[in-house]
Amino acid sequence: MKHPIESYENAMDLLSDPAQLKIKADADGYLFFKGLLPPASLLEVRRQILEILDRHGLLEKQAEILDGRMDLSKIAQCVPFEGCTLDVYKAVQRLESFQRLSHHPDLIRVYQALFGTEVLPHPRNIARVLFPGPQGRATPPHQDYIHIQGTQQTWTAWFPLGNCPVELGGLSVLKESHREGIFAVRGAEGAGGLETILCDKGNHWLKADFEVGDVLTFTSTTVHRGLPNQMGNLVRISCDFRYQPLQEPIEKQSLLPHGQVLTWEEIYKDWKRADLQYYWENKPLEISPWDESIRWQKERIC
């Protein structure tokens, strides 16, 4: 049975009413905030990432840099890594502006309202610099929990660094899928390498055109997927940041740089400020062990 595509409901008005915010979060498994973040801050990070692409000779020479138009002939010669290349991804991870963005006060206040307690931003920040074409394959349907474990109270914030119409490849959420527990998985191409085996429970996929500043957040058990980039030679740049209540357990790999492509020492080397370096080390964290069986459970049937 094929279900209709719906759009996200704006939860901005609920930020001043934490009780209602939590009710909606528990019911839907996601929250969408229209215009939560200041566009100027996001566009500055976008510019810095596009300058990295430009230094690697991957952008069209005649285009405005903020447009993000890529040279398809150069992309075809690249060795793929996380939708871009390893050298590009390392350079993005080194950006102080990117790493600091996860601590933006407008993001923290969302999770303070949602959790009602001190918030722990995960330091394992993910940048999605998805090249157009086969290089930037869309992320398959999945639940974050099988990749991060720790507490199921972890929420992911996803937002693009620039306007992102559906055709550019935004993010789609399966509404209320967080109520179904942990789904079984199988191997798949795309980020994460695993795909949720979906059973038709009557849920609805949601999607929307994102404007710079819009933020989508969802639980670690909410099924979500990337949408394909159908806009020719444009790159799609977005952020995946994660947050949890401080007192909940966290798996130790969530305290490492994403993909471990660099050490924290390498990432911090050229930072101008040290206030957010190793910020989690003085927190009273409960470290939970990794359970490989969670990733490969097969007892669920449709």
Check pLDDT > 90 for residue 83. Answer: no
Q: Domain tally for the chain?
A: 1
Query: Which segment of 74-78, 134-138, 141-145 scores lowest on mean pLDDT?
Result: 134-138
Question: Pairing state of beta strands 250-251 and 287-288?
Answer: parallel
Q: Does 15 map to a domain? A: no
CA distance 241 to 139: 16
**In contact, 171 and 8? CB cutoff 8 Å:** no
What pLDDT digit, counting tens, does each position of 226-244 carry? 888 888 899 999 999 999 9
Q: Does 10 map to a domain? A: no
Q: What is the pLDDT of residue 293?
A: 81
Q: Does 7 map to a domain? A: no
Check pLDDT > 70 for residue 207. Answer: yes
Check pLDDT > 50 for residue 4. Answer: no
Q: Does 3 map to a domain? A: no
What pLDDT digit, counting tens, does each position of 159-182 carry? 999 999 999 989 999 988 898 888
**CATH for 87:** 2.60.120.620
Q: What is the pLDDT of residue 33?
A: 98
Q: Does 21 map to a domain? A: no
Which range of residues forms the domain containing residue 203? 26-267+286-294
**In contact, 225 and 142? CB cutoff 8 Å:** yes
